[in-house]
Structure 1
Amino acid sequence: MELTIFYDGTCPLCLNEMQQLKRYDRLNRIGLEDINAADIKQRFPDLNVEQANTILHGLQADGTWLYGLDVTAKAWGLTGKHCWIKMLRLPVIKPVADKAYLAFARNRYRISYLLTGQKRCDTGRCNIK
């Protein structure tokens, strides 16, 4: 895997994006790991699950970590889709985009409810509208 993404599988919008990424990941370059998995700490001892619950974490094949929108930009870049996301990493846009991302991450359950009608995926699966 070129990138392993650690996401919140109880968040409807987060889960929806991960499903989209995998659908476009035709070369199987992206691995997905739900931070709520019972064995996540055993399989990834370097992952701080509490931090990963506040900001998206990505582990690259070379062992370096990416966070937040850097993970998103890298992942979509690997699929060749949504190339516009790279613009969010431009120096003049990055600080604002990162603050907006952190606000989204803090409020992801409320935002998910507004957009999907579901606040959380209690069973580990969401029915995305």
Structure 2
Amino acid sequence: MELTIFYDGTCPLCLNEMQQLKRYDSLNRIGLEDINAADINHRFPELDVEQANTILHGLQADGSWIYGLDVTAKAWGLTGKHGWVKLLRLPVIKPVADLAYLAFARNRYRISYLLTGQKRCDNGNCKIK
């Protein structure tokens, strides 16, 4: 894997994006790990799950960690889709985009509810296909 993404599988919007990423990941370069998995700490002892619940975490093949929109930009770059996402990493846009991302992350369940009608995926309806 070139990138392993640690995401919140109980967030409908987060899960939807992960499903889209995997759909376009034809070379299988991206691994997905739900931070709510019962064995996540056993399999990834270096992961701080509490911190991963506040900001998206990505583990690169070289063992280095990236966070937030850097994960999103790297992931979409690996798929060759949504090239516009890399614009969010431009020096003049990055600080504002990062603040917006953190606001989204803090309010992801409310935003999910507004956009999907579903606040959380804890009823078994949200599963990676």
TM-score (ref. length: structure 1): 0.96
Where in structure 1 do 4 or more consecutive aligned residues deviate above 4 Å? none
How far apart are the structure 2 equivalents of 1:108 and 1:81? 23
Query: Residue type of the partner of 2:125?
Result: R
| C-alpha distance 106-20 of structure 1, shift in aligned 2 (>3 A) | same
Equivalent residues of 1:10, 1:124 under 8 A apart: no
Secondary structure of 1:102 counterpart: helix
Task: Name the counterpart of 1:62.
Answer: 62
CA displacement, residues 33-57 of structure 1 (integer Å, 9 cap, x when unaligned)? 0000000000000000000000000
CA shift, 1:124, in A, is 4.5
Q: How high is the TM-score relative to the length of structure 2?
A: 0.96
Q: Counterpart in 2 of 1:80? A: 80
Number of paired residues? 127
1:125 CA drift (Å): 3.5
Correspondence for 1:110: 110
Unaligned runs of 5+ in 2: none
The within-5 A match list for 1:27-42 is 27-42=27-42
Equivalent runs, 1:38-57 vs 2, <5 Å: 38-57=38-57
Secondary structure of 2:110's match? helix
Q: Name the structure 2 match of 1:18.
A: 18
- In the alignment, is the contact (CA less than 8 A) between 1:68 and 1:101 conserved in 2? yes
Matched residue of 1:20: which SS?
A: helix
The runs of 5 or more residues in structure 1 that have no matched partner are none
- C-alpha RMSD of matched pairs (Å): 1.0
1:90 corresponds in structure 2 to 90
